[in-house]
Every structure is written in structure tokens, then in C-alpha cells.
Amino acid sequence: MSTTGASADPLAALGSLPGVAESVESVRRAVDRVYGHRIMRRRSNEITSEAALRGARGSAALSGADWALEEVRRRTDFSGEEEARTVGAALRLTAEAGQLLSIWRQSPLRVLARLHLVAAAGRSEEVGRPRQDGEPVDEPLIGLPLPDAEEVAARLEGLSQLIITGSQAPALVTAAVVHGELLALRPFGSHNGLVARAAERIVLVGSGLDPKSICPAEVGHAEQGRAAYVAALEGYASGTAEGMAAWIAHCGRAVELGVRESTAVCEALQRGAA
């Protein structure tokens, strides 16, 4: 992560980039609207469960397993072909993320290691630790230059310290930086995209912006498409003010699309209860 100038709170400094304040405000209004929906007073647990399923489906789609929602809902065995394993990993991560909220602010690196362990399901000795030089990375969607192990370690530590120290930055900004940094670094040998999107979810929920986890940004990332996702990430990786602002706006739009998805679920439940 880079910023346009030195700051004691570099995450907060990103909030002053052109267009970011507007994205933050637009996201907050959208989130407030869905939380104010009348069905949330009685059936919020159902909305949370449905958002988790749809978020996992969206995250898996971005990692190459673009299954229909009903297929994800129906399937019980995810141990077969590669796409099934990807969907299974996304579902496990979505379930696990909610258990790690209390640990995130004290030990984000421990949480990231746990997320990778859950995603990879212990398939190799490299699971749950950052990669070493010379170890391959299986992340075909992301074509950015791959940082070496020394840079990965340093930037992970810097990100960890930012989270532990805390910031005045809006939740959207912090979530976007965590997501973008993990994708740019690809610190693990596999499942980096799934882990990055799960970490974004943890920030959005743990910050209080989306405490019931009903605004699945993964849905919005998938809906905007892989090409837009990669282009926005390239902007983040450039470190320019314009590129960083574009990535944050892309993440904000993803949250808003996630809100739209859950609003539709609320409306469907309300019609069914009428």
C-alpha cells in the first residue's frame, strides 16, 4: 500500500482522495436503508444466512467457479472437481469469518493464517503460512507482478500494525485496503482471492458498518465482473491517488450491489409473509 503523502494515519489520508468521501457516504446510505427494512426486525437471521450463501457464491465465481446459486444451495459434497473445491472453500471461509471478528483487531496475521488454513483444508505443508521465495502461487485471475517473500513479509507486518493501531478511516476505506493489499501481495500459495474477500467481510462487519453481515460485497464484486475487478485492482497496485480512489470506489459499489441483493431477499420474504 502506498499513499500520496506521509501521515500518522495513512488509511485516514486515503479518505481525502477525490471521490472517496462520496463513495463512503453512498455506501452508508445504502446500508442504512437495508437495515431499516421492516423485515429486518423479525427475520434478520434469515437475511444473514442468505447473504452468507450468496456472498460465498460470488467469491467463488471470481475464483473461477461461477455456479448458479441453487446449485450451491443444493450441493452437499464439495470434495470432487476443482470448481467444487473452490465453492466449498468459499463456503467454509464465509462461515469461519464470523468466528474471527474478536481476534482480527489484536492479531490480523493470525486471522489471515487461519483463513488460508480453512480455505485450503490442510492440503499441503504450505497451508497457513506466507509463501517463501521460489514457491508457486496458484492465482490465475491476478496477473500483477508477484512481490518476493521479503516484501510480502514487510507489507503484511505494516498492514497488521495499521489494523492493530487503529485508524479514523471509514470502514469502506480500511476494507478496500485490506482486500487490495492481500490481492496485490498474494501472500499464500493458493486461495488468495478467497482469503482477501473474506478479510474484507471481516472488516466491514467488525467495524460496525455491517454488524449483521447482510451486505455481501462479494456479490457486488462478482456482478461487476472479473475484468472490472482486475482493472480496479491494477489501479490500487499502481499506488497513484487516482488508482487508489478508483479501487475504493469499486469496493464501495460492490457493497451497494450486495445491499441491493439483500434488499431483494427482504422484499421476497415480506411478500411471502403477506
pLDDT digits (tens, 9 = 90+) for 173-191: 999 999 999 999 999 999 9
Q: What is the pLDDT of residues 199-225, one digit of tens each?
A: 999 999 999 999 999 999 999 999 999
Q: Which of 53, 10, 24 lies closest to 61 in space, CA to CA?
A: 53
pLDDT at residue 274 greater than cutoff 50: no
pLDDT score of 176: 98
Distance CA 53, CA 60 (A): 11
Distance CA 72, CA 221 (A): 18
Q: How many residues are recorded in the chain?
A: 274
Average pLDDT over residues 45-73: 97
pLDDT at residue 134 greater than cutoff 90: no
Q: Please, what is the average pLDDT of the chain?
A: 93
Q: DSSP secondary-structure letter at 125?
A: T
pLDDT at residue 125 greater than cutoff 70: no
pLDDT score of 127: 74
Q: Which of 171, 148, 149, 174 lies closest to 160 in space, CA to CA?
A: 174
Q: What is the pLDDT of residues 63-102, one digit of tens each?
A: 999 999 999 999 989 988 999 999 999 999 999 999 999 9
Confidence of residue 53 (pLDDT cuts 50, 70, 90): very high
pLDDT at residue 133 greater than cutoff 70: yes
Distance CA 184, CA 247 (A): 12
**Considering all CA atoms of the chain, what is the largest pairwise distance in Å, rounded to the nearest integer?**
60
- Could you tell me the three cell numbers for 228? 472490472
- Could you tell me the three cell numbers for 65? 467457479
CB atoms within 10 A of CB 108: 22
Distance CA 256, CA 246 (A): 15
- Could you tell me the three cell numbers for 36? 431499516
Burial class from Cβ neighbours inside 10 Å (0-12, 13-18, 19+) for residue 86 reads: buried
Distance CA 214, CA 193 (A): 20
Burial class from Cβ neighbours inside 10 Å (0-12, 13-18, 19+) for residue 81 reads: exposed
Distance CA 88, CA 85 (A): 5
Average pLDDT over residues 49-56: 97
8 A C-beta contact, residue 140 and residue 82: no
Average pLDDT over residues 3-11: 63
3-state secondary structure of 15: coil
3-state secondary structure of 138: strand
